Homo-oligomer: A and B are copies of this chain.
Amino acid sequence: MTLDEVRASFPVLERVAYLNAGTFGPLARGTVEAMRARHQLDLDLGRAGAWYRDETAALRGDARPRLAALLGVDPANIALTQSTSDGCQIVALGLGLKAHDEIVTTDSEHFGLIGALHASGARVVVTSPSPDVIAAAVGRHTRLLALSAVLWTTGEMLPLRDLKEETGLPVLVDGAQSVGAIEVDAEPFDFYTVSGQKWLCGPDTTGALYVREPEALAVARPSFLSQQSYTPDGAFDPQPGAARFDSGWIPPPSLSGLVAAVDAAPEWRFTRTFEVAERCRQLLAERFDVVTGPEHAGLVAFRPEREPAQVVERLAERGVVVREIPGTGLVRVSCGYWTSDGDLERLLDAL
C-alpha cells in the first residue's frame, strides 16, 4: 500500500491538512462502511437472538488479539474498554488504595489518568516529567507509578522501562498517545491503556487495557461481561484472564469498525509516523520554539508567537486542523502515517 493509496482511504484528507490524531484520528471510508454494514444488520434482523449473540462474541474475539498484537502481549491479558479513561479507572479503583498510599505521576498528564488517580483516594504525588525527579519522588508509601508513554502536552517520551526497573513498582502506562503511533512492548508493565479513536483511527469509545496479572487486581467496575456466574448478592466468578475487566457493552458496529481500522493500517505505519513527525519538528524549529525533542512519536508541540487559541483558529480557517494545549502556551501538531509532506507545507504556509 502506498502513501497515496492510504491517503485516498481517508476522505477528510481531501479537504484539510488533518493534524489532530492526538484527539481523534481520521476515519477511513472502510471503517465507516464496516459500521454501516453492521447497523444495517441490527436494523433489519434486530439486536437479539443466536446470530446476534454469536456475531457479537466473534467481533470481540476479532478485536482482542488485534489490540494485543499492537501491545506485543497475549490476548488473554487484554480487556476491551471504551477509552483510556475507562482503563485508568479500572486500575486506580481496582488497586484498593488507602489515603496513606501514594501514586507518583507527572504534572503533564491528561485528566483521564489523573482524575482516576484522584478518585482512588490515595495521595497523588506530582513531579515534573523528568526521570530523575520521578524516581526521587518514590517513597515507602508509593504503590503505583502512573505515567504516559508519550505526554499529550509536549509529545515527550518517558523512559518507562528504566523507571520500572529502577523502582520495581507497579506501573500504569497511559498509552493514549503511543499505541498506533509507535511500536509498543507493554509486556514489562503492569497496566497499559489503549485508545481506539486516536492513532488507531477507530470509532469513538473503543479501547483496551493490558493487565499483566489479572488475578492480582480487583474488579472494581464489574460489567455483565466480567462474570461467568454470580450469586444474588452480586458476588461472582470472574471470566478468566483480563476479560474480567471488560468494561461493558461495545456496540457491534463499533467493534466492526475498529477491526477494519486496525487491519487497514500499512506495515510501514511506525517508520512513516516517525519520519513525518521528525520532518514537522525540523520545519517548525526553523521558525518557532519547538518543545518536542528528537525522541518522539507522532506529536510535535511548539510555542507560537501569538495566542495559541488564535493560532489554532486562524489555521482552521486555512484548512489546517491542529489544537492548543490549554494553560501551556503550546500548539500541538499530530503527524500520522497518513500525513503528507504537502500537509506540512500547508501548515507552515498557514503559520
Q: A-side interface residues toward B, CB under 8 Å?
A: 11-12, 15-16, 18, 20, 23-24, 26-27, 29, 32, 35-36, 39-40, 42-50, 82-83, 85-86, 89, 93, 105-119, 124-126, 197, 203-205, 218-224, 226-227, 230, 232-236, 248-252, 254, 313, 316, 321, 323
For the complex, give the distance between the alpha carbons of A42 and B12 in Å: 8
Report yes or no: B11 in contact with A251, Cβ–Cβ below 8 A: no
Report whether A111 and B248 are in contact in the complex, using a CB–CB cutoff of 8 Å.
Answer: no
Of the residues B115, B205, B220, B249, contact of A249 by C-beta under 8 Å: B205
Neighbouring B residues of A230 by C-beta, 8 Å: 111, 114-115
Residues of B within 8 A of A233 (CB): 105, 114, 117-118, 124-126
In the complex the two chains form, is B323's CB within 8 Å of A114's CB? no
**Which of these, B46, B117, B203, B248, contacts A18 with CB under 8 Å?**
B46
| List of B residues within 8 angstroms of A232 by Cβ | 105-109, 114, 126
* A119–B49 CB distance below 8 A: no
| Contact among B11, B16, B20 for A43, CB-based, below 8 A | B11
Q: CB distance B85 to A224 under 8 Å?
A: yes
Closest approach, in angstroms, between the C-beta of A316 and any C-beta of chain B?
A: 6
User: A118-B222, A233-B118, A233-B124 in contact; A23/B11 too (CB < 8 A)?
Assistant: no
A91 to chain B, nearest CB (A): 13
Given known pairs A46-B24, A107-B232, the reply for A251 and B203 (CB within 8 Å) is: yes
8 Å CB contact of A118 from B27, B118, B236: B236
Other than A85-B248, A108-B232, give 12 A-B pairs with Cβ distance below 8 A: A29-B43, A32-B39, A93-B93, A93-B221, A111-B222, A111-B224, A111-B230, A111-B236, A113-B234, A115-B224, A118-B235, A125-B233
Most buried by B among A45, A46, A113: A46
* B-chain residues with CB within 8 Å of residue A36 when the two chains form the complex: 36, 39
- Nearest CB of B to A115, in Å: 4
Contact of A12 among B32, B43, B251, B252 (CB under 8 A): B43
- Neighbouring B residues of A126 by C-beta, 8 Å: 232-233
Question: A112-B223, A119-B222 are known contacts. Are A48 and B323 too (CB-CB below 8 A)?
Answer: yes
State in angstroms the CA–CA spacing of A45 and B20 once bound together: 12
- Chain B residues closer than 8 Å to A203, beta-carbon distance: 251
Are A44 and B11 neighbours in the complex by a CB distance under 8 Å?
yes
User: Cβ of B234 and Cβ of A118 under 8 Å apart?
Assistant: yes
